[in-house]
Structure 1
Amino acid sequence: MSDARETATGRAQGESIAIVIAVLVIGCAGIYYVRSLIGPVFFALTLVITVRPLVSWATRHHVPRPVSALVAILIVFAFVIGLFAALGVAIVQLIETLPNYAAQFSSIWDSIRELLGRAGVDESTLIDQVSQSLDTSRIVSVAQSLLGQVSNAGSLLGVMGLSVVFLMFDTSRIEARSRALSRLRPGIASALNGFATSVRSYWLVSTVFGLIVAVFDVIALWILDVPMAVTWGVVSFITNYIPNVGFILGVIPPALIGLVASGPWTALWVVVVYSVLNFVIQSLIQPKFTGDAVGLNTTTTFLSLLFWSQIIGGLGTILAVPLTLFVKALLVDSDPRSRWVSIFLSAGDQPAVDDEGSDAAEADRTASEPISSIGVGPDDVSDTSGPAPGADAARS
């Protein structure tokens, strides 16, 4: 069987894998140089996919398509602008509050130096460097630099805004293209359908549970009398979109503020409360709602975070999972010969690929149904008459 495939393709499987890796490296290098364009456009695409079922639902209830598309666009705009505005307000409050705790920071650091001296540790040079790096003026400078990046995000929001508008109206009547793709390339149609379902589940569930965790964090910080509780709740909500390490990034600021404001026991309780909430809500409850929709194991998620943050930048930390799902859909799920890779990417103990027969059955099933990769269902195709474009080519 393998010999026949080598003869048919003209190259061995090892050669094919090497060529794919080389193409990926070149492609990633190209993406790196246009990351300021790729990141916002892909972010807009995933958000359009997420709200697309709302447009289909409104259309089925006799709402004009332009009106439903406009409402969906406003929802996306409100979410993105609200996200950036909340982050900007949190950074401003941090800049205004940190100088008030300069004396506490210095006192705590002096105590640490004294403790190290009693233990016989003489690392004065290292301590001085760390002390300078922990100076509140430097922390404020870093925060102001981050605020400048957030305020200069106008170009990013502009690209995202235009992309959302164009994508929303272009996909308002996607039925004919969906049926044509299902007939011409059933494997790709099925892969895109799986990608859309996964990324929609990822954004919706991450948003809902991120909001729940943020509310509980604010309540806990208010009970512990930690300053700027609402600000840290906003930070917790935003960092929830960063897989694996988002929890750590969200707990460090309130723990430090709790340490300088109320002492080490408050900081310890902040860490304990955040850890319990993260474990119970995001590790036990949230997976029950997402199920296997995303289908990526922890190692793959973490490596994708490191990889896409290098390629796309800061936005890549938020888009790490959607970008990985998209690449997986195009390169792995669309071709039965490469679906063995899913075995190493999937979460849980159930293999991602059972047998070749299931792949063939899935391809046959997809070929007879229109894809729903952007929220297209049976009701959406009822108003499209005539054969789909490319149907004659598919028959031939």
Structure 2
Amino acid sequence: MTDQAPPLPESGRTGATGAPSLRGGVTVIAALLVLVALWFGRELVAPLALALVLVVIAHPIRHPLERRGWPAWAATTVVIAVVYLILAVLAALLVFAGVEFADLVVDVVDELQAAVASVAAWLESVGLGDQLADATASALDPSALLDLAQGLGGWLLGFLTAAFFVLAYVIFMAADAARYRRAERAFGAGIRPRVDRIRALNSSIRRYYVVNASFGAIVAVIDGLALWALGIPIPAVWAILAFVTNFIPNIGFVLGLVPPAILAFVVGGVPLLLVVIAVYSVVNVVLQVLVQPKFVSDAVDLSLTLSFFSVVFWTFVIGPLGAILSIPLTLAAREALLGDGNGWLRWLSGNAAVQAPPPGATTGAAAPSPEPASDERA
């Protein structure tokens, strides 16, 4: 009779799989804690995210300067100056739009009151009830717009406070960016796959904003000229709004349409309202639905569902700025949480480049790169 090893207990058989499950639970809990911390610190995190995205966009400017023999500090100074120039232009546009909007509200109060009265009367005539009529009238109450216009001062103060943090963050990040590209020399070739993924993420963010800014400018010009031709007041403000909302995926078109559509109803009634909606819809369908996705799909590589959810999610976490930064934040979160692994989850998120490994191929170790990575791809 030969001795046989006793069978392993069930707990011993499942111990190997228990560790990954425990790690997954710890990861989920850690992610939730990070999100709670981001929510509580959103007044500092939102400017930090904006500064990071702007530095990523402007960082490639340093490469041709350094090739021409510029010292690192001079190239960094140029990057900082470019970011500050972008912020100055955006701030000037927002201040101009705010001042023009405040003046407009004061000028059209009488017309707006008449429009509200006509809408309330029509709702009562079709039998929708006094409660719905009162709700609609309160939503279009001119006093609400007056309060909004008067509150622009407080909003501007908050904007300037956030701008101070952005300006400080940009200096530190631009200076650090020159050092990060030397990571391979510091840690060896083993860190190359991780550095390449970061470079690919930065490149995707740059392409996304370049494409969106280009198409946003086209949409803004077309919408502004159309509103000017239709006689809608302050068309330049609504053109600026169309440009800004173009950076908000999926729902940006609607956000940019609502204010000029309401104003069209106030100054021209239902016919002018329908014309404005038709113009915005045609421009949106042709440029933002049919043309723009062909250029931005390679940069974003996210599913439509995840893109829409990211707008809602990041707006809740870090505030209104999260809507504009939702795509790069989601790309960064996906890279941090999934990395090279979890190919199935990456594919569900919209990453079409993920493919199943060939039969017999091993997973887990990244294939070595045949040639050293160039610093200029950072």
Q: Same fold (TM over 0.5)?
A: yes
Per the alignment, residue 6 of structure 2 pairs with none
Match of 2:271 among 251, 265, 270: 265
Say whether residues 1:355 and 2:357 are aligned partners.
Answer: yes
* Distance across 2 between alignment mates of 1:17 and 1:315: 30
Say whether residues 1:152 and 2:158 are aligned partners.
Answer: yes
Residues 244 and 131 (structure 1), Cα distance of their counterparts in 2 relative to 1, 3 Å cut: same
Say whether residues 1:345 and 2:349 are aligned partners.
Answer: yes
Residues 289 and 365 (structure 1), Cα distance of their counterparts in 2 relative to 1, 3 Å cut: farther
Match of 1:228 among 218, 224, 234: 234
Give the letter for the 1:370 counterpart: A
Q: What is the TM-score with the length of structure 2 in the denominator?
A: 0.88
- Work out which of the two has the higher radius of gyration on C-alpha atoms and give 1 or 2: 2
Residues 39 and 181 (structure 1), Cα distance of their counterparts in 2 relative to 1, 3 Å cut: farther
The one of the two structures with greater contact order (alpha-carbon pairs below 8 A, sep at least 6) is 1
Shift of 1:60: 1.6
Match of 2:291 among 285, 307, 312: 285
Q: Per-residue CA shift, 1:173-202, capped at 9, x if unaligned? A: 433214445723344323312211111111
* Distance across 2 between alignment mates of 1:20 and 1:155: 34
CA RMSD, 1 decimal: 2.6
CA contact (8 A) 1:190 1:371 kept: no
Say whether residues 1:112 and 2:115 are aligned partners.
Answer: no
SS in 1 for 2:356: coil
Q: Give the stretch that moved more between structures: 143-152 or 214-223.
A: 143-152
Shift of 1:229: 0.5
Extract unaligned runs of 5+ from structure 2: 1-12
Match of 1:94 among 59, 80, 101: 101
Residues 370 and 270 (structure 1), Cα distance of their counterparts in 2 relative to 1, 3 Å cut: same
Q: Per-residue CA shift, 1:359-392, capped at 9, x if unaligned? A: 96992244853376x843xxxxxxxxxxxxxxxx
Say whether residues 1:48 and 2:55 are aligned partners.
Answer: yes
Match of 1:79 among 83, 86, 102: 86
Residues 45 and 115 (structure 1), Cα distance of their counterparts in 2 relative to 1, 3 Å cut: closer
Say whether residues 1:318 and 2:327 are aligned partners.
Answer: no
Per the alignment, residue 373 of structure 2 pairs with 370
SS in 2 for 1:212: helix
Per the alignment, residue 31 of structure 1 pairs with 38
* Distance across 2 between alignment mates of 1:358 and 1:270: 57
Shift of 1:124: 1.6
Per the alignment, residue 379 of structure 1 pairs with none
- Length, aligned pairs only: 365
Residues 330 and 179 (structure 1), Cα distance of their counterparts in 2 relative to 1, 3 Å cut: farther
CA contact (8 A) 2:124 2:130 kept: no
Extract unaligned runs of 5+ from structure 1: 1-5, 377-396
SS in 2 for 1:355: coil
Residues 323 and 367 (structure 1), Cα distance of their counterparts in 2 relative to 1, 3 Å cut: farther
Say whether residues 1:205 and 2:211 are aligned partners.
Answer: yes
Shift of 1:351: 5.8
Per the alignment, residue 65 of structure 1 pairs with 72
Residues 194 and 339 (structure 1), Cα distance of their counterparts in 2 relative to 1, 3 Å cut: farther
SS in 2 for 1:11: helix
Give the letter for the 1:66 counterpart: W
Match of 2:260 among 237, 254, 259: 254
* Distance across 2 between alignment mates of 1:205 and 1:67: 28
Shift of 1:253: 0.8
Per the alignment, residue 301 of structure 1 pairs with 307
* Distance across 2 between alignment mates of 1:109 and 1:359: 67
SS in 2 for 1:364: coil
Q: Per-residue CA shift, 1:131-187, capped at 9, x if unaligned? A: 233221211212332452233222211111111111112222433214445723344
CA contact (8 A) 1:39 1:316 kept: yes
Q: What is the TM-score with the length of structure 1 in the denominator?
A: 0.84
Per the alignment, residue 387 of structure 1 pairs with none
Per the alignment, residue 175 of structure 1 pairs with 181
* Distance across 1 between alignment mates of 2:153 and 2:374: 42
What pairs up with 1:8-19 in 2 under 5 angstroms?
A: 11=18, 13-19=20-26
* Distance across 2 between alignment mates of 1:269 and 1:342: 42
Give the letter for the 2:372 counterpart: E
